[in-house]
Amino acid sequence: MAYATREELLAAAQGVLAHNWTGSFTKPTEHLYPHQWNWDSGFIAIGYGHYDFERAVTELKSLYRGQWRNGMLPHIVFREDPQSRYFPGPDFWETHRAEDAPTAAMTSGITQPPVQGWALWHIVRATKDRRRAREVVNELLPLIRAQHEYLYLYRDPNKEGLVYVRHPWESGTDNSPAWDDALKRFDPSEVVLPVYQRQDNQIGKVNHRPTQRDYDYYVYLLDVYRRYSYEEGALESHCPFRIQDPMFNAILARSGECMSELAEWVGAPTDSWVRQSTMTRRALYDKLWDPQRGTFDAWDLAIEQRIPLETNSGLIPIIAGSLPNDEVAPLLRRIESPAFSGEPQSPAFLIPTLALNDPRLDIEKYWRGPVWINMNWMLYEGLLRYGAYDTAARIREDSLHLIQTYGFQEYFLPYQQLPAGVAPHLGAGKFSWTASLCIDWLMRSDAV
């Protein structure tokens, strides 16, 4: 056990956030990710919300410094750091080519799952200072509105309430097997790739990180954006990767729902929030739900096809209430089934990134098998929403057990018995969202 008691665990979690705090935002982790990441910051703010409201607010506000004029909230806001070895850095993104990029901040040119409305709702709920909370909501509301407007305006070409991601990095689940087929359609020998030097596999372990071919594809897409100066109309026609991801859309719907409550609370208009989040919640069910398999699938807009695959992203839409109460049973059965809970002789911690019986499972590799704390936390919230308290409690207990035993890792092995020859520590250590969501589980008043 890395930490003997839950009290020690809580103190250590706050210590991780203090360690990664830069003065205006919190790095996801020290060496591998030395800048500010979009959805990381949302999750991080939720932890701070329990003991330092102002720091939570600063975390969110500092992210919006990077917001583009068209509303897009970039996936990375870079900070000046001569020590940083992160690739791709601002010079590679060349966002100065984009008309809408901010001049006061250096950013990437893509976005990430829009958790901020949901995070704001959590931090507002956790503070006693209602006057200050109201002030913060009034300040952030127009920025979050612009962020959602951007997504519905530019990423929902069919106006069906489902927005698409245009890069695996936008999904947050970078090398998920859900993107494999799109990646297979790309032939690196047919394009001229810019010269580039990866840093991630020198800082992190090679067998935990995406493959070289994955990175070639990531860089290829980035080069497409640069060539079209990030112009939305051009990217709509020229970006080969356009996928409607169930998790990204569920987060959008949940954030929209949270913002409608906050807007009502401060006396601001609620119509657009309600209309958009309802549309997305319903579209998830109508287009992406598969009742037979008990999961939501992604949809590839480039070839107009469902991507049938069992990932934990496919379970996340319960956060937005996308299933009628009497139709949630198949999804709950799926979580309890050997696919996600393991066999009696090889039990798993909830919840692996990919079904354990999928041939593409790789228990050490990034988004292709390990347990991630932010995914567990979202699923926990969804399970509470449906009153599935036993499974929710299992997810919380598994997560806290993993962190207490192995520390604040970026991700964890899914099997309860360590397979021979596999080291237990995966990804980076002292990882911020692992710490902040651990804090939420330890401090929230409605924990089960």
**Catalytic residue positions?**
174, 410
Start-to-end Cα distance in the chain: 23
| Binding window for ligand 2M8 (CB under 6 A); candidates: 44-52, 166-174, 269-277, 394-402 | 166-174
Q: 3, 25, 37, 299: which one contacts ligand 2M8 (CB under 6 A)?
A: 37
Give yes or no for residue 39 binding ligand 2M8 (CB under 6 A). Answer: yes
The tokens describing 357, both together, are: 């019986």
Q: 174, 245, 257, 381: which one contacts ligand 2M8 (CB under 6 A)?
A: 174
Burial label, 80 (beta-carbon count in 10 A; 0-12, 13-18, 19+) = exposed
Residue 235 amino acid letter? L
Report the candidate in 437, 436, 434, 406 with the shortest Cα–Cα distance to residue 422.
Answer: 406
Q: 169, 179, 217, 299: which one contacts ligand 2M8 (CB under 6 A)?
A: 169
Q: 33, 217, 241, 248: which one contacts ligand 2M8 (CB under 6 A)?
A: 33
Which backbone phi and psi does 188 adopt, to 5 degrees? Answer: -55, -25
The tokens describing 292, both together, are: 């037979």
| Shortest distance in whole angstroms from residue 203 CB to ligand 2M8 | 10
- Residue 408 DSSP class: S
Q: For residues 396 and 308, what is the distance between their CA atoms, to the nearest angstrom?
A: 28
Q: For residues 222 and 241, what is the distance between their CA atoms, to the nearest angstrom?
A: 11
| Binding window for ligand 2M8 (CB under 6 A); candidates: 31-39, 315-323, 376-384, 416-424 | 31-39
Q: 3, 28, 60, 163: which one contacts ligand 2M8 (CB under 6 A)?
A: 28
Give yes or no for residue 170 binding ligand 2M8 (CB under 6 A). Answer: no
Q: For residues 141 and 159, what is the distance between their CA atoms, to the nearest angstrom?
A: 23
| Shortest distance in whole angstroms from residue 150 CB to ligand 2M8 | 19
Query: Quick one: which H or E segment has residue 295?
Result: strand 295-296
Q: 34, 47, 161, 172: which one contacts ligand 2M8 (CB under 6 A)?
A: 172
Strand 305-307 relative to strand 342-343: parallel, antiparallel, unpaired? unpaired
| Shortest distance in whole angstroms from residue 73 CB to ligand 2M8 | 13
Residue 110 amino acid letter? I
Partners of 346 in the β-ladder: 343
| Shortest distance in whole angstroms from residue 34 CB to ligand 2M8 | 10
| Binding window for ligand 2M8 (CB under 6 A); candidates: 130-138, 168-176, 357-365, 416-424 | 168-176
Comparing CB distances to ligand 2M8, the nearer of 38 and 341 is 38
Number of residues located near ligand 2M8, criterion CB under 6 A: 10
Comparing CB distances to ligand 2M8, the nearer of 116 and 260 is 116
Which residue's C-beta sits nearest to ligand 2M8?
28
The verdict on whether omega for the bond into residue 269 sits within 30 degrees of 0, i.e. cis, is no
Residues of this chain that interact with ligand 2M8 (CB under 6 A) are: 28, 33, 37, 39-40, 75, 169, 172, 174, 200
